[in-house]
Structure 1
Amino acid sequence: MVAEQGSFLKASKECYITPASVMNQINKLESLVGVRLIERTNQGTRLTAAGRAFYQDAKKLIRQSEQAIARARQIGKDEQQTIRVGTSILRPCKTLVDLWAGIDDGTLPVAIRIVPFDDDPASMEAMLDSLGREIDCFVGPCDSLTWRERYNILSLEPVNCCIAAPRKHRLAKKEMLQWSDLDGETLLLVKRGDSPVLNRLRDEIERNHPQITLLDTPHFYDTNVFNQCEQMGCIMETLDIWRDVHPSIVTIPMMWDYKIPYGIVYAKKPAAPMQTVVTMLRSRLITAGVS
Structure 2
Amino acid sequence: MIEQLKTFVQVVESGSFSKAAEKLFISSTAVMKQMNLLEKQAGIPLFIRTNHGVSLTKAGTAFIKDAKYMLQYFQESLIRMHHSAQANRHIVRVGTSMLNPCKVLIDLWNEIGDLYPQFGINIVHFQDDAHTLPTTYRMIGQSLDLIAGPFLTDNLKDYYHMLELGSYRVCFAVSRQHRLASRKTLSIKDLYGERLAVVNGGNSAVIHDIRDFLKIKHPQIQIKDIPRLYDLEVFNRCEESNTVMLTLEAWADIHPSLVTIPSDLDFAVPYGLIYPLHPSEEVGQFIEIIKEMQGNALPKVE
Q: What's the TM-score once normalised by structure 2's chain length? A: 0.66
1:36 matched residue in structure 2: none
Cα deviation for residue 280 of structure 1 reads: 0.8
1:179 corresponds to which residue? 188
1:265 pairs with one of 262, 270, 274: 274
Name the structure 2 match of 1:153.
162
Alignment size in residue pairs: 215
In structure 1, what is the Cα distance between the partners aligned to 2:114 and 2:229?
Answer: 36
Q: 1:228 is matched with which residue?
A: 237
Deviates more, 1:248-257 or 1:211-220: 211-220
Q: Tell me how far apart the structure 1 counterparts of residues 143 and 85 of structure 2 sit (CA, whole Å).
A: 17
Alignment of 1:1-291 (within 5 A): 77=87, 81-105=90-114, 108-191=117-200, 194-286=203-295
Residues 272 and 193 (structure 1), Cα distance of their counterparts in 2 relative to 1, 3 Å cut: closer
Q: Contact between 2:196 and 2:224, CA under 8 Å: does it hold in 1?
A: yes
The 3 A distance-change label for structure 1 pair 107 and 278 is closer
Q: CA-to-partner distance for each residue in 1:240-287, whole Å, 9 max, x for gaps?
A: 011111111111111110111111111111112211111111111119
Asked if the contact 2:140–2:146 (Cα under 8 Å) also holds between the matched residues in 1, the reply is: yes
Please tell me whether the aligned partners of residues 190 and 217 of structure 1 are also in contact (alpha carbons under 8 angstroms): yes
Separation in 1, partners of 2:182, 2:121? 40
TM-superposed deviation, 1:122: 2.2
**CA deviation digits over 1:79-125, x for unaligned, max 9?**
x7211100111112211111111111175211111111111112210
- Asked if 2 retains the 8 angstrom alpha-carbon contact of 1:121 and 1:218, the reply is no
Q: Distance in 2 between matches of 1:269 and 1:216?
A: 35
3-state SS in 2 of match to 1:105: helix
Q: Quick check: 1:192–1:199 contact (8 Å CA) kept in 2? A: no
Q: Spell out, residue by residue over 1:138-178, the C-alpha distance to the aligned partner (whole angstroms, 9 max, x if none).
A: 11111433222211111111111110101111111111111
Question: How many angstroms apart in 2 are the aligned matches of 1:237 and 1:128?
Answer: 23
Q: Cα distance, 1:76 vs. partner?
A: 9.8
Assess if the C-alpha contact under 8 Å between 2:202 and 2:229 holds in 1. no
Asked if 1 retains the 8 angstrom alpha-carbon contact of 2:196 and 2:243, the reply is yes
Contact 1:193 1:199 in 2 (8 A): no
AA aligned to 2:121 is I
Cα distance in 2 for residues equivalent to 1:207 and 1:90: 29
- What's the CA shift string for 1:206-254, capped at 9, x where partnerless? 2122222222224421111111111111110000011111111111111
Amino acid at match of 1:124: L
Cα distance in 1 for partners of 2:101, 2:84 equals 29
Could you tell me whether the CA contact under 8 Å between 1:159 and 1:262 is conserved in 2?
yes
Q: Which runs of 5+ in 2 are unaligned?
A: 1-79, 297-302
Instruction: Report the CA distance shift for 1:185/1:76 in structure 2 as closer, same or farther (over 3 A).
Output: same
* Matched AA of 2:137: L
Structure 2 distance, partners of 1:175, 1:137, is: 35
**Contact between 2:201 and 2:227, CA under 8 Å: does it hold in 1?**
no
* Bigger relative contact order (CA 8 A; separation at least 6): 1
Separation in structure 1 between the aligned mates of residue 208 and residue 141 of structure 2, nearest angstrom: 29
